[in-house]
């Protein structure tokens, strides 16, 4: 059986692994959340490739200090849950922000992104950004627009010619002229 010191060292190590793998970290006060609400939060964040973790503030502080992340020190008070966005910096933030809007007992305190502390307003701005998939689809649309315009330009004379031939054929049919005469 592990000693309490070894258990704490394992928790710090696991927490450090989550922090280093995360694109964005959100910390929030979850005091008053029910078990079902917490499970709902975990499911929402997991669905977008993230993770929710709860760890003692002192252990979190030790882990963050070992990673030279000291800007979150003042925010580690009370019951704090950490939301880690692993694959996309925006998606986990969106999930946490949406959950905070839905649940009255989940209040986002701050976050960490790209070496900087995020305020609540920064997190809201990040959550309102389009996702990576949305940006990629818009980019592909921008790239394909000139090609589709070019194709339409190439097809226009052919379509105009075919329209002229059809109109001439209808005119001949109306006048009673056939092509066999």
| Residue 177 banded pLDDT, cuts 50, 70, 90 | low
For residue 125, pLDDT over 80 is answered with yes
Per-residue model confidence (pLDDT) at position 147: 75
Q: φ, ψ for residue 180 (rounded to 5)?
A: -95, -5
Nearest Cα residue to 37 out of 96, 91, 89:
96
Mean pLDDT over residues 45-71, rounded?
92
For residue 53, pLDDT over 60 is answered with yes
Could you give the percent of the chain with pLDDT greater than 70? Answer: 97
Summarize pLDDT for 70-114 with one digit per residue, the tens.
888 888 999 999 999 988 788 888 899 999 999 889 999 999 998
CB 96 within 8 A of CB 83: yes
CB 49 within 8 A of CB 86: yes
For residue 25, pLDDT over 70 is answered with yes
Mean pLDDT of the chain: 87
**Where along the chain do its domains lie?**
4-129, 130-181
CB neighbour burial string for 26-57, b if at least 16 within 10 angstroms, e if fewer:
bbbbbeebeeebbebbbebbeebebbbbebee
Per-residue model confidence (pLDDT) at position 146: 78
| Residue 148 banded pLDDT, cuts 50, 70, 90 | confident
For residue 5, pLDDT over 80 is answered with yes
Per-residue model confidence (pLDDT) at position 66: 92
Give the 3-state secondary structure percentages of the chain, helix then strand then coil, rounded to 5: 60, 15, 25
- CATH pick for 4-129 out of 3.30.70.1730, 3.40.50.1970, 3.30.465.10, 1.10.1060.10: 3.30.70.1730
Task: Look up residue 53 and give its DSSP letter.
Answer: E
pTM attached to this predicted model: 0.70
For residue 29, pLDDT over 90 is answered with yes
SS3 state of residue 130 = coil
């Amino acid at each position: 059986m592990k000693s309490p010191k070894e258990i704490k060292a394992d928790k710090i190590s696991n927490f450090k692994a989550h922090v280093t793998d995360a694109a964005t970290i959100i910390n929030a006060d979850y005091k008053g959340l029910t078990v079902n609400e917490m499970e709902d939060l975990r499911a929402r964040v997991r669905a977008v490739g993230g993770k929710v973790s709860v760890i003692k503030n002192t252990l979190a502080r030790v882990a963050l200090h070992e990673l030279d992340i000291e800007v979150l020190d003042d925010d580690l008070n009370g019951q704090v849950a950490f939301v880690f966005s692993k694959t996309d910096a925006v998606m986990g933030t969106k999930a946490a922000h949406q959950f905070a809007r839905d649940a009255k007992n989940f209040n986002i305190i701050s976050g960490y992104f790209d070496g900087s502390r995020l305020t609540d307003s920064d997190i809201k701005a990040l959550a309102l950004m389009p996702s990576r998939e949305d940006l990629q689809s818009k980019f592909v649309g921008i790239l394909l627009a000139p090609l589709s315009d070019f194709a339409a330009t190439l097809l226009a004379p052919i379509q105009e010619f075919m329209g002229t031939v059809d109109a001439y054929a209808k005119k001949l049919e109306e006048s009673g002229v056939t092509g066999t005469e």
